[in-house]
């Protein structure tokens, strides 16, 4: 483990320099890793681990299209692909990658296979942190560990295939065997993480739920909508409002932020833009801070977890979700976005 300075704060991180793939392979050479669930994270983690030389099997219910997807990806029924219970029985490490709602439903079944010395692995702190609500309480004699890739399972796989990696956090909730650290870091390296930063189950879930409700997804759509509506109410056309709200951000400015930071993006804009942005950003921070504070409070109290457990376990969950996404898709802003995307030079019809 290395200590690294992040803007003046020293944190524990693990890179592939201190923990190379060879060491990870050595650490897990006698382990059978079962990936339970083949949704979004399952395929990325399972395929990366397999191609990195680990012994991996997949557990997936059979009467499902997802089983066929696993077969199409090269998992062989009876050899590397099994029903969930059989995979759990064979495993020494169970990577519990069902949807968060599925994890709650299947827990009584999975629990039976958690014999002493095994490891139970999560990619989210949700199940354990909110155990009073999820009912997921592992036995004392198994390791309980977490590697949470900071991005979609699809990106985890794509970046792996490009020879790059997605950063992940790791945490140990229970070290029953004395081997939890080596196990968790070896798995993190094995799934193709770029570097691993240390967290706890609680911190992982609190920051993750805040982030997706906040700047990553919820807040950004809210700020887009507020600015778009203001421009429209003042007589600007949909094209103008969309370009000044979304298109310029995603196409021109965010790639610059990703490359070298916000100050560098500012430095590469006009002096008029710089002056205005520097004058206004703190007002937006101050206006939204109370909303972020109440969001964090709701997350910490478990209310956000309860809302997602309740809604995700309803039988009409997918239908309702589709209706809400359709409402967003059908809004004038995103309808305009569809037209604007089609007009990008690389997409426009020649
Ligand atoms: N999505 C991401 O990129 C991402 C990123 C970071 C962390 N995570 C975490 O990774 C974990 C997995 O998330 P995910 O998004 O990959 O999940 P997901 O795609 O929603 O997982 C679906 C899997 O769960 C199975 N499943 C759901 N309900 C089930 C039930 N009642 N019985 C049996 N199988 C059931 C599905 O089988 P069927 O297809 O047969 O229903 C499928 O294999 C979660 O803890 C999540 O928070 C996800």
Q: How far is the CA of 348 from the centre of ligand 1 (A)?
A: 37
pLDDT at 1: 81
Distance 39 CA to ligand 1 centre (A): 5
Ligand 1 mean position to 25 CA, how many Å? 26
Residue with the smallest CA separation from ligand 1 atom 47 is 124
Q: How confident is the model at residue 347 (pLDDT cuts 50, 70, 90)?
A: confident
Ligand 1: centre distance to CA 151 (Å): 14
Q: Kindly report the protein residue whose alpha carbon is nearest to atom 17 of ligand 1.
A: 99
As annotated, the active-site residues are 124
SS (H, E, C) the chain: CEEEEECCEEEEEEECCCCCHHHHHHHCCCCCEEEECCCCHHHHHHHHHHHCCCCEEEECCCCCHHHHHHHHCCCCECCCEECHHHHHHHCCEEEECCCHHHHHHHHHHHHCCCCCCCEEEECCCHHHHCHHHHCCCCCCCCEEEEEEECCCHHHHHHHHHCCCCEEEEEEEEECCCCCHHHHHHHHHHHCCEEEEEECCHHHHHHHHHHHHHCCCCHHHHHHHHHHHHHHHHCCCCHHHHHHHHHHHHHHHHHHHHHHHCHHHHHHCCCHHHHHHHHHHHHHHHHHHHHHHHHHHHHHHHCHHHHHHHHHHCCCCHHHHHHHHHHHHHCCHHHHHHHHHHHCCCCCCCC
**pLDDT tens-digit readout, 235-284:** 999 999 999 999 999 999 999 999 999 999 999 999 999 999 999 999 99
Ligand 1 pocket test, candidate residues 99, 129, 217, 321, most atoms within 8 A of CB: 99
Ligand 1 geometric centre to CA of 228 (Å):
35
Q: What percent of the chain has pLDDT over 70?
A: 99
Name all residues whose Cβ lies below 6 A of ligand 1: 37-42, 60-61, 64, 66, 97-100, 102, 105-106, 123-124, 148-149, 152-153
Nearest-atom number in ligand 1 for the CA of 153 is: 3
pTM of the model: 0.92
Pocket test for ligand 1, best of 41, 60, 168 (most atoms within 8 A of CB): 41
pLDDT digits (tens, 9 = 90+) for 52-90: 999 999 999 999 999 999 999 999 999 999 999 999 999
pLDDT at residue 349, as a whole number: 61
- Mean pLDDT over the full length of the chain: 96
């Amino acid at each position: 483990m290395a200590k690294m300075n992040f803007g003046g704060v020293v944190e524990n991180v693990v890179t592939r320099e201190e923990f190379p793939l060879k060491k990870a392979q050595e650490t897990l050479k006698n382990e059978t890793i079962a990936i339970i669930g083949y949704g979004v994270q399952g395929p990325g983690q399972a395929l990366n681990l397999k191609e990195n030389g680990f012994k991996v099997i997949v557990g997936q219910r059979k009467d499902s299209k997802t089983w066929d997807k696993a077969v199409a990806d090269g998992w062989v029924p009876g050899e590397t692909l099994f029903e969930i219970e059989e995979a759990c029985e064979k495993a020494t490490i169970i990577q519990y990658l069902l949807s968060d709602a599925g994890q709650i439903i299947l827990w009584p079944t999975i629990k039976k296979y958690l014999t002493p010395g095994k490891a139970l692995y999560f990619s989210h702190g949700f199940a354990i942190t909110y155990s009073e609500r999820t009912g997921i309480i592992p036995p004392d004699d198994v390791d309980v560990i977490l590697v949470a890739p900071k991005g979609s399972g699809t990106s985890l796989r794509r970046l792996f295939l490009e020879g790059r990696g997605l950063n992940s956090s790791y945490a140990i909730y229970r070290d029953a065997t004395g081997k939890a650290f080596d196990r968790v870091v070896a798995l993190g390296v094995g799934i193709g993480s770029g570097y691993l930063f240390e967290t706890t189950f609680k911190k992982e879930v609190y920051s993750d739920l805040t982030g997706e409700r906040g700047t990553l997804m919820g807040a950004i759509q809210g700020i887009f909508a507020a600015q778009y509506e203001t421009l429209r109410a003042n007589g600007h056309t949909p094209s103008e409002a969309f370009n000044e709200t979304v298109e310029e951000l995603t196409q021109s400015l965010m790639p610059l932020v990703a490359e070298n930071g916000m100050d560098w993006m500012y430095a590469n804009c006009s002096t008029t833009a710089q002056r205005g942005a520097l004058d206004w950003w703190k007002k937006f921070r101050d206006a939204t801070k109370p909303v972020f504070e109440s969001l964090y409070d709701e997350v910490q109290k478990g209310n956000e977890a309860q809302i997602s457990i309740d809604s995700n376990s309803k039988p009409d969950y997918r239908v309702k979700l589709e209706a809400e996404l359709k409402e967003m898709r059908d809004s004038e802003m995103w309808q305009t976005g569809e037209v604007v995307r089609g007009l990008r030079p690389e997409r426009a019809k020649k």
